[in-house]
Amino acid sequence: MQARPRLSIVIPAYNEEARILGSLEAAEAYLLRTGEDVEILVVDDGSRDGTAGAVESFAQKRPRDAPVSIRLLRNGRNRGKGYSVKYGVLMSRGDLILISDADFSTPIDELRRLRPTVVDEGYAIAIGSRGLKESRVEIHQAAWREMMGRGFNALVRLLTGLPFRDTQCGFKLVRRQEVLPLFRAARVERFAWDVGILYLARKAGRRVREVPVLWRNAAGTKVNALVDPLDMLKDIVRIVLRDRLGRYGRLGGLQAGGDART
């Protein structure tokens, strides 16, 4: 049996055949240079293309004792990004878990910016951010998408009281033991999953820091600009209502009411 890896990387994937191999190759090349044991978990969310086959083929070419291992998890049908991330986190074995979008719009080597926050400073969660003064956005989204993103963030801050400038950047590093109770309690299955976890982190007193990262927009977003923003807003309202109705209870044995810290 392989030793427990220090780091797990969870990548939710839906119809990512065109770019998943490039992402895995880039991640593997970087991780091999670090010299540590890492597992990459690709969670196929009911893709209708060759995503799963491409990942399986890539994984089979690696020796069993390779320092970077690849695991394919399948949802069976399309369940949503939040469901896929939750499944991957709960199945991971590393002490640290990096959650990344399949396109690596934030390059894998930005991990070095998040890691000290969790490893050295003791935060439970470090979230990559495009919204801080020190953030570097080299390739922008269309102006109307950026405007929608700012509007969504304003609503998140208003409805939840979370202080973060960017909850949706697909690059987050977490300490496994501190976030497992949060993911077990999480109910958001689609794109607003980040808000749900950060909301629960504050409730459980987990420390969260927003960290500026490099980000380059990649074509091929799965977010439907006409439908998904409204669904995300509904999910945020549900998160707050569940809390007020006492549906989350105590998280990980910690007293509720702690603050997320920036």
Q: Which two tokens stand for residue 230?
A: 């409204």
pLDDT in tens, 110-131: 999 999 999 999 999 999 999 9
> How far is Cα 196 from Cα 32, in angstroms, rounded to an integer?
33
Per-state percent for the chain, helix, strand, coil, to nearest 5 = 40, 20, 40
pLDDT of residue 219: 79
- What pLDDT was estimated at residue 65? 85
Tens-digit pLDDT profile for the chain (262 aa)? 467 899 999 999 999 999 999 999 999 999 999 999 999 999 999 999 999 999 999 999 988 889 999 999 999 999 999 999 999 999 999 999 999 999 999 999 999 999 999 999 999 999 999 999 999 999 998 898 899 899 999 999 999 999 999 999 999 999 999 999 999 999 999 989 999 999 999 999 999 999 999 999 987 766 666 677 889 999 999 999 999 999 887 775 443 333 333 3
- Report which of 155, 148, 162 is spatially closest to residue 224, judged by C-alpha positions: 148
- The predicted structure's pLDDT at residue 228: 75
- Give me the pLDDT at residue 225, please: 67
pLDDT score for 2: 61
pLDDT of residue 252: 58
| Predicted local distance difference test score (pLDDT) of residue 258 | 37
Query: Three-state SS across 59-113?
Result: HHCCCCCCCEEEEEEECCCCCCHHHHHHHHHHHCCCCEEEEECCCCCCCHHHHHH
Average pLDDT, the chain: 92
